[in-house]
Copies of this chain bind each other. A is one copy, B any other.
Amino acid sequence: MRLPEFQKILQNKNIDLAIFLKADHDHNHPDILYFSQYPGAGALVIPGKNRPFLAVPKMEQSVAAKSGFKIIVPDERARLLEKIRAELRKQRVPIKRIGLNFSETTLAMKKALQKHLKKARFVDIGKELQELRMLKTPEEIKVIKKGFRIADSILKKAIAGFSAGSSVNSSGFRTEADVKAFLELEASKNGCSLAFPAIVASGKNASEVHHATAATKLTRGFCLIDFGIKYKNYCTDCSRTLFLGTPSKKDIERYSLVLKAQEDAIASIRKGMRCKSIYARAIKSLGKYARYFTHGLGHGVGIKIHELPNLTSQSKERFQNAQVFTVEPGIYFSDFGIRIEDTLLLINDKVEILTKLPKKLVVIRRFKWQ
């Protein structure tokens, strides 16, 4: 997306070219997706000055062509890296200093690169890439907003589906897996994939922050839902906590405390402020419950579900315009958990909440116990 800026960075650092190699089938390479939107196997090469190109296996040629980039296809015997070297020589690009994203490059890939590009030195440009991807362009923001609209509508439907006799889901949700399946089917119907497997955790399971949702029956009490999709490669992220049955006064107090901590944290965000300062603020808001808050307050969201900025006690970033990030305090006891998570966009010095579902505690009194 911000290719000219990236090439400028390479030039300033005297880097001849950057190579992005996909590790394997499971590896969603964020930089390849960011610059080219190409999802398949192969490599993206961005010289500091010349035109970038994709090197892809023959079978991926037609998919890669959609990127609009120049495509080179290694023939049966010539391996990918040999072909890339030949192409760079043809373009007269020097191959001395090569930029790699060290966070996305395995030791095995580096070994292969060293074998084929013998005189090259490798420079870590991971930080520069993360910082580049952290600030979204207007085109990215348009896509991201559309993704959040879709995700919101799906989560809204799922929440409505909890009430007995709802038209959304007339058979009713019986297990956590039913809710998860509903969310994921709706994502698929909308042509989206998942940013992560949806989490639906009621009762004891909610105390596991990253609970693997299974065919466990939904139980009375808080039910935590964490759901995110990928729309055109960009992730969304939102958590809401419902109550199944009738909450006690203490339940309502605890929910209100988490909600207040979340809203206070959001309200305190200012451009230029250190991100870690709002983590400290959330700890303060949670008071005696702070020891039940066991994860970071939030994280950037983009092509990866966890990007910059970090909203933890260790964070080094400051809030800037065009960042997209979550604010998600939560408390976890042995028999339940409460988390409320919004994703925000900082734009024109103001915070815009991308996850627009209400945060007032949704109480499902008419839950159909099965």
Could you give, for residues 102-126 of chain A, a 1 whenever the CB lies within 8 Å of some chain B CB and a 0 otherwise?
Answer: 1111111011000000000010101
Chain B proximity mask over A295-334: 1 for CB below 8 Å, otherwise 0: 1000000001110000001000000000000000000100
Contact indicator per residue, chain A 49-62, by CB within 8 Å of chain B (1) or not (0): 00000000111101
> Pick the contact of A40 from B63, B122, B185, B210 — CB < 8 Å?
B210
A90 interface residue per 8 A CB criterion: no
Question: A189's contact among B40, B181, B208, by CB below 8 Å, is which?
Answer: B181
- Give the residues in chain B near A100, CB-CB below 8 Å: 107
B215 touches A313 (CB 8 A): no
- Residues from chain B with a CB closer than 8 A to the CB of A212 are 39, 63
Is A245's CB within 8 Å of the partner chain B? no
Given contacts A106-B104, A107-B107, A184-B185, contact A214 B193 (CB under 8 A): no
| Interface residues as binary, A13-55 with B (CB distance below 8 Å gives 1, 0 otherwise) | 0000000000111101000000000011100000000000000
Selected from B24, B59, B107, B211, the residue in CB contact (under 8 A) with A110 is B107
Known: A26-B28, A107-B122, A191-B214. 16 other contacts (CB 8 A): A26-B304, A39-B212, A57-B294, A57-B295, A59-B294, A76-B313, A102-B107, A103-B107, A103-B108, A104-B106, A106-B106, A107-B110, A177-B189, A177-B191, A184-B185, A193-B197
Integer count of this chain's copies in the complex: 2
Q: Which residues of B contact A177 (CB under 8 A)?
A: 188-189, 191
Answer yes or no: A289 CB below 8 A from chain B CBs: no
CA distance A184 to B186 in the complex (A): 11
B103–A126 touching, CB < 8 Å = no
A260 → B minimal CB distance (Å)? 22
Q: How far is the CB of A214 from chain B (nearest CB, A)?
A: 6
Chain B residues closer than 8 Å to A214, beta-carbon distance: 191
Interface of A is mostly: loop
Give the docked Cα–Cα distance between A185 and B24 (Å).
26
A6 in the interface, Cβ–Cβ < 8 Å? no
Q: Nearest 5 A-B pairs (CB), nearest first?
A: A102-B107, A181-B188, A59-B294, A59-B209, A102-B108
Set B57, B62, B102, B188: member contacting A185, Cβ < 8 A: B188
A207 in the interface, Cβ–Cβ < 8 Å?
A: yes
Q: Does A196 contact B (CB under 8 A)?
A: yes
A39-B212, A60-B209, A108-B126 known; A185-B181 Cβ under 8 A: yes
A202-222 CB contacts (< 8 Å) to partner B:
207-212, 214-215
